[in-house]
A and B are shown apart, each in its own frame.
Chain A
Amino acid sequence: DQQVKQNSPSLSVQEGRISILNCDYTNSMFDYFLWYKKYPAEGPTFLISISSIKDKNEDGRFTVFLNKSAKHLSLHIVPSQPGDSAVYFCAASTYSGAGSYQLTFGKGTKLSVIP
Protein backbone atom coordinates (compact mmCIF):
# COMPACT_ATOMS: atom_id res chain seq x y z
CA ASP A 1 0.00 0.00 0.00
CA GLN A 2 1.69 3.15 -1.23
CA GLN A 3 1.06 5.97 1.24
CA VAL A 4 2.95 8.61 -0.75
CA LYS A 5 2.36 8.72 -4.50
CA GLN A 6 4.06 10.65 -7.24
CA ASN A 7 1.94 9.77 -10.23
CA SER A 8 4.15 11.31 -12.88
CA PRO A 9 7.35 9.30 -13.39
CA SER A 10 8.76 12.03 -15.60
CA LEU A 11 8.28 15.67 -16.58
CA SER A 12 9.89 17.80 -19.29
CA VAL A 13 9.93 21.59 -19.07
CA GLN A 14 11.52 24.36 -21.13
CA GLU A 15 14.22 26.42 -19.45
CA GLY A 16 12.76 29.54 -17.86
CA ARG A 17 9.27 28.09 -17.48
CA ILE A 18 7.60 26.78 -14.34
CA SER A 19 8.04 23.17 -13.23
CA ILE A 20 5.23 21.72 -11.10
CA LEU A 21 5.80 18.40 -9.39
CA ASN A 22 2.89 16.76 -7.62
CA CYS A 23 2.54 14.39 -4.70
CA ASP A 24 -0.48 12.76 -3.06
CA TYR A 25 -0.64 11.02 0.29
CA THR A 26 -3.17 8.86 2.10
CA ASN A 27 -2.04 8.82 5.74
CA SER A 28 -3.66 11.58 7.82
CA MET A 29 -0.98 11.13 10.48
CA PHE A 30 1.71 12.67 8.27
CA ASP A 31 2.60 16.01 9.84
CA TYR A 32 5.64 17.20 7.93
CA PHE A 33 6.49 17.01 4.26
CA LEU A 34 9.80 17.28 2.45
CA TRP A 35 11.15 17.38 -1.07
CA TYR A 36 14.49 15.88 -1.99
CA LYS A 37 16.44 16.16 -5.22
CA LYS A 38 18.65 13.33 -6.43
CA TYR A 39 21.33 13.33 -9.10
CA PRO A 40 22.66 10.03 -10.50
CA ALA A 41 25.32 8.38 -8.33
CA GLU A 42 24.55 10.74 -5.42
CA GLY A 43 22.34 10.50 -2.38
CA PRO A 44 19.14 12.58 -2.16
CA THR A 45 19.67 16.22 -1.19
CA PHE A 46 17.17 18.00 1.04
CA LEU A 47 15.46 20.80 -0.87
CA ILE A 48 12.52 22.28 1.00
CA SER A 49 9.95 21.27 3.59
CA ILE A 50 6.56 22.28 4.98
CA SER A 51 4.76 21.65 8.22
CA SER A 52 1.18 20.45 8.14
CA ILE A 53 0.08 23.64 9.90
CA LYS A 54 1.14 25.73 6.90
CA ASP A 55 -0.11 25.79 3.33
CA LYS A 56 2.90 27.37 1.63
CA ASN A 57 6.65 27.61 2.08
CA GLU A 58 9.01 29.48 -0.19
CA ASP A 59 12.77 29.34 -0.62
CA GLY A 60 14.17 31.23 -3.58
CA ARG A 61 12.99 29.62 -6.78
CA PHE A 62 11.31 26.76 -4.90
CA THR A 63 7.82 26.90 -3.38
CA VAL A 64 5.93 24.02 -1.81
CA PHE A 65 2.15 24.12 -1.48
CA LEU A 66 0.15 21.89 0.84
CA ASN A 67 -3.57 21.17 0.52
CA LYS A 68 -4.44 19.10 3.57
CA SER A 69 -8.07 18.56 2.68
CA ALA A 70 -7.04 17.07 -0.65
CA LYS A 71 -3.98 15.35 0.84
CA HIS A 72 -1.93 16.88 -1.94
CA LEU A 73 1.30 18.81 -2.13
CA SER A 74 3.18 20.31 -5.00
CA LEU A 75 6.64 21.73 -5.64
CA HIS A 76 6.93 24.73 -7.96
CA ILE A 77 10.26 25.68 -9.48
CA VAL A 78 10.34 29.12 -11.11
CA PRO A 79 12.20 29.74 -13.34
CA SER A 80 13.40 26.25 -14.22
CA GLN A 81 17.08 25.85 -15.03
CA PRO A 82 18.95 22.99 -16.76
CA GLY A 83 20.76 22.28 -13.47
CA ASP A 84 17.38 21.43 -11.93
CA SER A 85 17.26 18.28 -14.05
CA ALA A 86 17.19 15.46 -11.50
CA VAL A 87 14.83 13.01 -9.80
CA TYR A 88 12.62 14.68 -7.20
CA PHE A 89 11.30 12.70 -4.26
CA CYS A 90 8.38 13.70 -2.10
CA ALA A 91 8.60 12.45 1.51
CA ALA A 92 6.22 12.55 4.45
CA SER A 93 7.07 12.27 8.12
CA THR A 94 5.16 10.68 10.93
CA TYR A 95 5.99 10.00 14.55
CA SER A 96 6.78 6.34 15.06
CA GLY A 97 7.21 6.34 18.83
CA ALA A 98 10.30 6.33 21.09
CA GLY A 99 11.33 9.71 19.71
CA SER A 100 11.60 8.40 16.16
CA TYR A 101 10.22 10.17 13.09
CA GLN A 102 9.93 7.98 9.98
CA LEU A 103 10.07 9.28 6.43
CA THR A 104 7.92 7.63 3.76
CA PHE A 105 9.00 8.40 0.22
CA GLY A 106 7.24 8.53 -3.11
CA LYS A 107 8.86 6.78 -6.06
CA GLY A 108 10.13 9.99 -7.58
CA THR A 109 9.58 12.18 -10.64
CA LYS A 110 12.38 12.66 -13.13
CA LEU A 111 12.50 16.31 -14.18
CA SER A 112 14.21 17.25 -17.42
CA VAL A 113 14.72 20.96 -18.09
CA ILE A 114 15.35 21.55 -21.77
CA PRO A 115 17.66 24.46 -22.68
Chain B
Amino acid sequence: KAGVTQTPRYLIKTRGQQVTLSCSPISGHRSVSWYQQTPGQGLQFLFEYFSETQRNKGNFPGRFSGRQFSNSRSEMNVSTLELGDSALYLCASSSVEGLYEQYFGPGTRLTVT
Protein backbone atom coordinates (compact mmCIF):
# COMPACT_ATOMS: atom_id res chain seq x y z
CA LYS B 1 0.00 0.00 0.00
CA ALA B 2 1.14 3.53 -0.67
CA GLY B 3 1.86 5.58 2.41
CA VAL B 4 0.44 8.89 3.53
CA THR B 5 1.24 11.64 1.04
CA GLN B 6 1.32 15.36 1.68
CA THR B 7 1.54 18.24 -0.74
CA PRO B 8 3.31 20.51 -1.10
CA ARG B 9 6.46 19.44 0.72
CA TYR B 10 7.77 22.98 1.12
CA LEU B 11 6.02 26.32 1.14
CA ILE B 12 7.06 29.92 1.74
CA LYS B 13 4.37 32.46 2.54
CA THR B 14 4.21 36.03 3.72
CA ARG B 15 2.66 37.19 6.98
CA GLY B 16 -1.07 37.84 6.54
CA GLN B 17 -1.52 35.39 3.69
CA GLN B 18 -3.43 32.15 3.91
CA VAL B 19 -2.30 28.64 3.02
CA THR B 20 -3.91 25.29 2.25
CA LEU B 21 -2.11 21.99 2.80
CA SER B 22 -3.26 18.64 1.45
CA CYS B 23 -3.06 15.09 2.78
CA SER B 24 -3.96 11.76 1.18
CA PRO B 25 -4.23 8.94 3.74
CA ILE B 26 -3.31 5.31 3.30
CA SER B 27 -5.93 3.57 1.18
CA GLY B 28 -8.75 2.34 3.41
CA HIS B 29 -7.88 4.63 6.31
CA ARG B 30 -10.76 6.88 7.24
CA SER B 31 -9.24 8.83 10.13
CA VAL B 32 -6.89 11.72 9.40
CA SER B 33 -5.15 13.76 12.08
CA TRP B 34 -3.05 16.89 11.71
CA TYR B 35 -0.10 17.92 13.89
CA GLN B 36 2.18 20.94 14.09
CA GLN B 37 5.83 20.30 14.89
CA THR B 38 8.06 23.11 16.10
CA PRO B 39 11.49 22.87 17.75
CA GLY B 40 10.25 24.27 21.04
CA GLN B 41 6.88 22.53 21.37
CA GLY B 42 7.34 19.16 19.70
CA LEU B 43 4.32 17.60 17.98
CA GLN B 44 1.06 19.28 18.89
CA PHE B 45 -2.33 17.94 17.88
CA LEU B 46 -4.40 20.21 15.65
CA PHE B 47 -7.53 18.21 14.76
CA GLU B 48 -8.84 14.84 13.62
CA TYR B 49 -11.34 14.03 10.89
CA PHE B 50 -13.31 10.84 10.36
CA SER B 51 -15.88 10.33 7.63
CA GLU B 52 -15.84 14.03 6.72
CA THR B 53 -16.55 15.10 10.33
CA GLN B 54 -14.20 16.78 12.75
CA ARG B 55 -14.15 14.49 15.80
CA ASN B 56 -11.54 16.20 17.90
CA LYS B 57 -9.73 19.52 18.03
CA GLY B 58 -6.57 20.66 19.77
CA ASN B 59 -5.86 23.96 21.41
CA PHE B 60 -5.20 26.13 18.37
CA PRO B 61 -6.83 29.41 17.33
CA GLY B 62 -9.69 29.52 14.84
CA ARG B 63 -7.26 30.57 12.09
CA PHE B 64 -6.47 26.86 11.79
CA SER B 65 -9.21 24.87 10.11
CA GLY B 66 -9.57 21.71 8.12
CA ARG B 67 -11.90 19.50 6.20
CA GLN B 68 -12.14 15.98 4.89
CA PHE B 69 -13.58 14.80 1.62
CA SER B 70 -15.63 11.70 0.85
CA ASN B 71 -12.48 9.90 -0.39
CA SER B 72 -10.86 10.57 3.04
CA ARG B 73 -8.39 13.09 1.61
CA SER B 74 -8.00 16.04 3.95
CA GLU B 75 -6.94 19.64 3.74
CA MET B 76 -5.95 22.08 6.43
CA ASN B 77 -6.07 25.83 6.05
CA VAL B 78 -4.31 28.53 7.99
CA SER B 79 -5.56 32.07 7.48
CA THR B 80 -3.84 35.35 8.35
CA LEU B 81 -0.46 33.70 8.70
CA GLU B 82 1.84 34.76 11.55
CA LEU B 83 5.59 34.27 11.86
CA GLY B 84 4.96 31.76 14.63
CA ASP B 85 3.07 29.51 12.23
CA SER B 86 6.38 28.49 10.65
CA ALA B 87 6.55 24.77 11.36
CA LEU B 88 6.42 21.27 9.95
CA TYR B 89 2.80 20.25 9.48
CA LEU B 90 2.28 16.51 9.68
CA CYS B 91 -0.70 14.47 8.65
CA ALA B 92 -1.36 10.99 10.00
CA SER B 93 -3.94 8.38 9.11
CA SER B 94 -5.29 5.38 10.95
CA SER B 95 -7.67 2.56 10.20
CA VAL B 96 -10.80 1.72 12.16
CA GLU B 97 -9.12 -1.49 13.32
CA GLY B 98 -5.87 0.13 14.45
CA LEU B 99 -7.28 3.17 16.10
CA TYR B 100 -4.27 3.80 18.30
CA GLU B 101 -1.58 3.51 15.66
CA GLN B 102 -1.21 6.46 13.38
CA TYR B 103 0.90 6.48 10.24
CA PHE B 104 2.51 9.75 9.29
CA GLY B 105 3.25 11.46 6.01
CA PRO B 106 6.53 13.28 5.33
CA GLY B 107 5.08 16.64 6.31
CA THR B 108 4.83 20.08 4.74
CA ARG B 109 7.51 22.56 5.82
CA LEU B 110 5.84 25.99 6.02
CA THR B 111 7.98 29.09 6.35
CA VAL B 112 6.27 32.42 7.03
CA THR B 113 8.35 35.53 6.31
> Which residues 39-59 of A sit at the B interface, judged by CB distance below 8 A?
41-46, 49
Shortest Cβ distance from A98 into chain B, in angstroms? 5
How many angstroms from the CA of A93 to the CA of B33 in the assembled complex?
13
How many angstroms from the CA of A89 to the CA of B48 in the assembled complex?
20
Question: How many residues on the A side are at the interface (Cβ–Cβ under 8 A)?
Answer: 25
With A104-B45, A105-B42, A106-B42: A45-B104 Cβ-Cβ less than 8 Å: yes
Question: How many residues on the B side are at the interface (Cβ–Cβ under 8 A)?
Answer: 24
Is A49 touching B100 in the complex (CB atoms < 8 A)? yes
* B42, B44, B56, B107: the one within 8 Å of A98 (CB): B56
* B63 contacts the other chain (CB 8 A): no
Is B45 touching A103 in the complex (CB atoms < 8 A)? yes
Is A41 touching B106 in the complex (CB atoms < 8 A)? yes
- Chain A residues close to B by CB (< 8 Å): 32, 34, 36, 41-46, 49, 89, 93, 96-108
